A and B are shown apart, each in its own frame.
Chain A
Amino acid sequence: MITVEHLTKRYNGGQLAVDDISFSIDKGGVWGLLGPNGAGKSTLMNMITGYLSATQGRILVDGVDLVEEPGKAKALMGYLPEIPPLYPEMGVEEYLNFVAELKGIRKKAQRTQEVQKAMEQLDLTGMRHRLIRNLSKGYRQRTGLAGALLGKPQIIILDEPTVGLDPAQIIEMRELIKELGKEHTVILSSHILSEVQSICDQVMIISQGKLVAQGPPDSLSQSRQVLHITAQGKAEQIEKLLKKIQGLEKLTLEHTQGEEVTFTAACAPDQDLRRSVSLTLAKEGFPVLALTSEAPSLEEIFLKLTESHVPEQEEME
């Protein structure tokens, strides 16, 4: 549905916001862009929707090149930016009519029908004559989303759709996004892990302008298994033995306490190395005191993938 090739954005000040990102998004489902603040999510979305131009790279929307045929490509997408682009002096229905016309729905009857449908879908019918200036944040967000739905776009792009909403509204918005994912391809960005985990079918983790991981939330958290090994004996000797075991990676010494040494190691999810670790150590006379294996949560992966950049991010903000 959307193919992004070697996309790079360097702002005028020399700041690299998006750094050579390539991915492709298939039709259907909810896709989440996850990353800490300042990771380049908004820049990426602004480029995909054609608000910003890319310094390098190519964007194809359903096979249509965004640079060559911007009108055609933009018509396929509905975008709700982080701050909903609303005109405060307009009424809700008036605004939606304007957006519909902007999206090229020429016939008045069709326009009225689509606006009506979008208002019903987002429960805005009771607010249709209110001025946007007088709406609460939740209703503004809904009005913006209703605007994004007009013109029957195949792709809906939402930048931080739940920021600033109260807990009840957040749950409502999430339900709505799941609902939208059945008919459209939805791409949303978020810095909240649980949100992405609960509503997205696919997750892309972005850090420092780079795509660092991609996959369904379950497979991401099952991509590695972590082993914690505690044994009694000399650290160097135990390490030497463990290194011989096939499939055991990233062996690190966590801590030593007298005779007790603790290592952590990673291995593939379908391998259970606990038996061979225990047997190998016991054979050489090192008693195994504790041995556990666990799959890291998405949160741990997220922190691990993004932690090395934390100080720089603070600088960027």
Chain B
Amino acid sequence: MIAVFKREWKSYFSGVMGYFLVGFMSMVCGIYFWANNLINASADFSYTIYCTTFAFLIYVPILTMRSFAEERRTKTDQLLLTSPVSLTSIVLGKFLAHLAIFGLSVVLMGLMPVVMGFYGSIDWLRILGSLLSYLFLGGSCIAMGLWVSSQTESQIISCLASFGLMLLAYLIASIRLLLVSGNLMAYLVFLGAALIIALCAGVRGGAPLGMGVFLLCVILLTGVYLFSGSWLAQGFSGVMEAMDLFTPFAGFVYGVFDLSSLVYYLTVAGFFLFLTGQSLEKRRWS
């Protein structure tokens, strides 16, 4: 694991990529720091951190796009997978290296409130809580990006797909507000999701399987809708909440240290790292 970590870390800083990513994050934070804290003379650095989360949409896809895709393209994964190193160590080593690069940005961001501290009193606990949660949020986004990268050989596709996923996670809070209305709405959205799943199944396993899956989903959903429509609405709201990566972070920004949010981020990261391991394993079987 340490070997994988070290190599990954070095590879980012042997080219411009590592410096670019750290510089990008610092720049985004610097701009908000300047505008919020310096110009407006506000001591609220947590809010500044909150403002920078939109940059994840670009930062995470670029950070993670090459992690597994490039190894697969250049066949260097043959070295990793035929070495006496477990799959878990490979995935964890890579994840921790990416997290460390992001962590470097977080540390640099932590220096900004130190400057503010020279001129007045600041709420250190709140800022540290926000930075910690920020790191966790970043970790779960990175895990998601790694999983996307493990699906393809192309960095470009990986980057675009991660961007799509990040965008969805970022916008889901607003989409949720639009779609709260009614059981019928939830029913229709679930039907749409079932159609997508059925299409995927159809492409993989042939048309009969796809149609079978779709039929089964329709029967189940219609049944639940007719029996107790509110279940669908509740389930829908639950799914949306689970997909909403960014909202739990807001709690920390407002000064609430919420352990359940950290557990949520750990769960998301663990889930996607598990999927990454599975997709590497699956490739051996295909």
Name A's B-contacting residues (CB within 8 A): 11-12, 46, 49-53, 70-72, 74-75, 77, 79, 81, 83, 85-90, 94, 98-99, 101-104, 147
The 5 residue pairs across chains A and B that have the minimum distance between CB atoms: A85-B79, A101-B3, A75-B84, A49-B82, A85-B76
From B11, B15, B82, B84, contact of A51 by CB (8 A)? B82
Q: Contact between A98 and B6 (Cβ–Cβ < 8 Å)?
A: yes
Given contact pairs A52-B284, A77-B82, A85 touches B75 in the complex (Cβ within 8 A):
yes
- The total of interchain contacts (Cβ-Cβ below 8 angstroms) comes to 70
Collect the chain B residues with CB atoms within 8 Å of residue A98's CB: 3, 6-7
Q: Contact between A89 and B79 (Cβ–Cβ < 8 Å)?
A: no
B285 contacts the other chain (Cβ, under 8 Å)? yes
| Interface SS, B side | helix
Closest chain A residue to B87, Cβ basis: A70
17 intermolecular pairs with C-beta atoms under 8 Å apart: A50-B81, A51-B78, A51-B81, A53-B284, A72-B84, A74-B84, A83-B75, A85-B76, A85-B77, A86-B74, A90-B10, A90-B14, A94-B10, A99-B83, A101-B2, A102-B83, A103-B83
Closest chain A residue to B15, Cβ basis: A89
Nearest Cβ on chain B to A144's Cβ, whole angstroms? 9
Collect the chain A residues with CB atoms within 8 Å of residue B2's CB: 101
From A11, A87, A88, A104, contact of B84 by CB (8 A)? A104
Collect the chain A residues with CB atoms within 8 Å of residue B284's CB: 51-53
Nearest Cβ on chain A to B113's Cβ, whole angstroms? 36
Q: Contact between B76 and A53 (Cβ–Cβ < 8 Å)?
A: no
Besides the known contacts A75-B84, A85-B76, A87-B11, 12 further A-B residue pairs in the complex with CB atoms under 8 A apart: A11-B286, A50-B82, A53-B284, A70-B86, A74-B83, A85-B74, A85-B75, A86-B74, A87-B74, A98-B3, A101-B2, A102-B80
Binary interface encoding of chain B residues 26-69 relative to chain A, with 1 for a CB under 8 A from any of its CBs, else 0 = 00000000000000000000000000000000000000000000
A224 vs B249: C-alpha distance in the bound complex, in angstroms? 78
Given contact pairs A12-B286, A53-B284, A90-B14, A102 touches B75 in the complex (Cβ within 8 A):
no
Nearest Cβ on chain A to B88's Cβ, whole angstroms? 11
From B14, B78, B286, contact of A89 by CB (8 A)? B14
A46 vs B81: C-alpha distance in the bound complex, in angstroms? 10
B189 contacts the other chain (Cβ, under 8 Å)? no
B4 contacts the other chain (Cβ, under 8 Å)? yes
| Interface SS, A side | loop
Closest chain B residue to A74, Cβ basis: B84
Collect the chain A residues with CB atoms within 8 Å of residue B286's CB: 11-12
Collect the chain A residues with CB atoms within 8 Å of residue B256's CB: none
Q: Contact between A71 and B82 (Cβ–Cβ < 8 Å)?
A: no
Q: Contact between B79 and A147 (Cβ–Cβ < 8 Å)?
A: yes
Closest chain A residue to B204, Cβ basis: A12
B188 contacts the other chain (Cβ, under 8 Å)? no
Which residues 57-111 of B sit at the A interface, judged by CB distance below 8 A? 74-86
Q: Contact between B86 and A102 (Cβ–Cβ < 8 Å)?
A: no
A87 vs B70: C-alpha distance in the bound complex, in angstroms? 10
Collect the chain B residues with CB atoms within 8 Å of residue A52's CB: 284
Collect the chain B residues with CB atoms within 8 Å of residue A87's CB: 7, 11, 74, 76
From B4, B6, B76, B78, contact of A79 by CB (8 A)? B78
Given contact pairs A81-B75, A87-B11, A89-B14, A103 touches B84 in the complex (Cβ within 8 A):
yes
A83 vs B74: C-alpha distance in the bound complex, in angstroms? 8
Nearest Cβ on chain B to A293's Cβ, whole angstroms? 47
A86 vs B77: C-alpha distance in the bound complex, in angstroms? 10
Collect the chain A residues with CB atoms within 8 Å of residue B83's CB: 74, 99, 102-103
Nearest Cβ on chain A to B102's Cβ, whole angstroms? 21
Binary interface encoding of chain B residues 2-20 relative to chain A, with 1 for a CB under 8 A from any of its CBs, else 0 = 1110110011001100000
A52 vs B281: C-alpha distance in the bound complex, in angstroms? 9
From A46, A53, A71, A89, contact of B86 by CB (8 A)? A71
Name the residue in B3, B81, B83, B85 with the highest tally of chain A Cβ atoms < 10 Å from its Cβ.
Answer: B83
Nearest Cβ on chain A to B85's Cβ, whole angstroms? 6
A71 vs B87: C-alpha distance in the bound complex, in angstroms? 10
A83 vs B79: C-alpha distance in the bound complex, in angstroms? 11
Closest chain A residue to B4, Cβ basis: A102
Collect the chain A residues with CB atoms within 8 Å of residue B80's CB: 102
Given contact pairs A52-B284, A75-B84, A102 touches B11 in the complex (Cβ within 8 A):
no
Q: Contact between B3 and A102 (Cβ–Cβ < 8 Å)?
A: yes
Given contact pairs A53-B285, A98-B3, A86 touches B82 in the complex (Cβ within 8 A):
no
Collect the chain A residues with CB atoms within 8 Å of residue B74's CB: 83, 85-88
From B11, B76, B81, B85, contact of A86 by CB (8 A)? B76
Nearest Cβ on chain B to A106's Cβ, whole angstroms? 9
Q: Contact between B78 and A85 (Cβ–Cβ < 8 Å)?
A: yes
A94 vs B6: C-alpha distance in the bound complex, in angstroms? 11
Q: Contact between B84 and A79 (Cβ–Cβ < 8 Å)?
A: no
Q: Contact between A79 and B7 (Cβ–Cβ < 8 Å)?
A: no
Nearest Cβ on chain B to A154's Cβ, whole angstroms? 13
Collect the chain A residues with CB atoms within 8 Å of residue B15's CB: 89
Collect the chain B residues with CB atoms within 8 Å of residue A104's CB: 84-85
From A53, A77, A90, A102, contact of B85 by CB (8 A)? A102
A11 vs B284: C-alpha distance in the bound complex, in angstroms? 10
A77 vs B82: C-alpha distance in the bound complex, in angstroms? 9
